[in-house]
Amino acid sequence: MEAKSAKVLDPLITTIIVALIGFIGTTVGTIVNNSNNTALESRKFEFDLIKKGLEQPSEEERVKFLRFLSELKLISNPDMVTAIDNIIENPENVPNLSVAVSQPGQFEIDVKSGVKEKDFRIGAIGAARGEIGNMEDKTLGNGGPHVFKYMRGGQGYGWACGFVSWCYSQNINQKPPFKYCYSTKQLQQIIQKKGWYKKSEGYTPVEGDIYFIGNTDNIFHLGIVESVNSDILTGIEGNTNDSGERNGKGVFRMKRKLSSIVGYGHIKQ
């Protein structure tokens, strides 16, 4: 019987995989976070999208995700476009990169001991730190590549809650502790139902807690606790600005008085 010849990865597929692993690293991430080079940011965003597609657990999901990128023309690099088309046509040749590459905020988990409660909170604030400085597209308003990422394809409306949900979904080894939310009030209600909600009075927030701003009748903004010093909370928020407004322009590190916080989500698994 004639032996089957081994399948060989197309050179373009090899190129995209090597580029992903080499490009999305701590050094380049630092460069992007501290640079105003929009072309480099755009390139990193495209690589992030492709990487996300190749991380999907099943062949069908990987092809579906990449086809979505192709149909919406979200990838501009011609070589990458050709590679994606090749992957869609030959999905059996495409490996799953879910363990090959890590991003800021992702952390390894000992499968024997499980997930410690603090891991989700520490992982979320780690992911948030890596996003500081990401801005909306000025021409769109509540839009652009970063908003698209946090809102899972949605644009044109408030994205503070989408940002928090994204940060809490960056654990590659465990499903998120709560449903991905785009509404601040809805997230507060989910946290209350799970028994994780803490009223601000008498509670000392810890790193990774979600804090809610507003009043009991109108929760309109939120962020993730980074640290607390006396009566001042330092947090990371999406869709805000230097003044701390709720409909701002990007991801910022903010200082808030504890008296301005109506409550907290102390996330557990």
Neighbour-count burial of 249, counting CB atoms closer than 10 A to its CB (0-12 exposed, 13-18 middle, 19+ buried): middle
Split at pLDDT 50, 70, 90, the class of 31 is very low
Q: Is the pTM of this model over 0.85?
A: no
Portion of the chain with pLDDT greater than 70, in percent: 68
Indicate the class that CATH gives domain 117-265. alpha beta
Q: How far is CA 50 from CA 81, 143, 180, 257, in A?
A: 10, 20, 21, 40
DSSP-assigned letters across all residues of 170-209 = --TTS--SS---S-HHHHHHHHHHTT-EEESTT----TT-
Q: What is the pLDDT of residues 175-220, one digit of tens each?
A: 789 999 999 999 999 999 999 999 999 999 999 999 999 987 889 9
Q: Is the pLDDT of residue 6 over 50?
A: no
What was the pLDDT predicted at 139?
79
* Tens digits of residue pLDDT in 68-118: 777 767 777 676 777 777 777 766 655 555 433 334 443 333 333 345 567
**pLDDT of 170 higher than 90:** no
Closest of 184, 173, 175, 198 to residue 239, by C-alpha: 184
pLDDT tens for 33-65 read: 444 445 555 566 767 777 777 777 677 777 777
The ranges of the chain annotated as CATH 3.90.1720.10 are 117-265
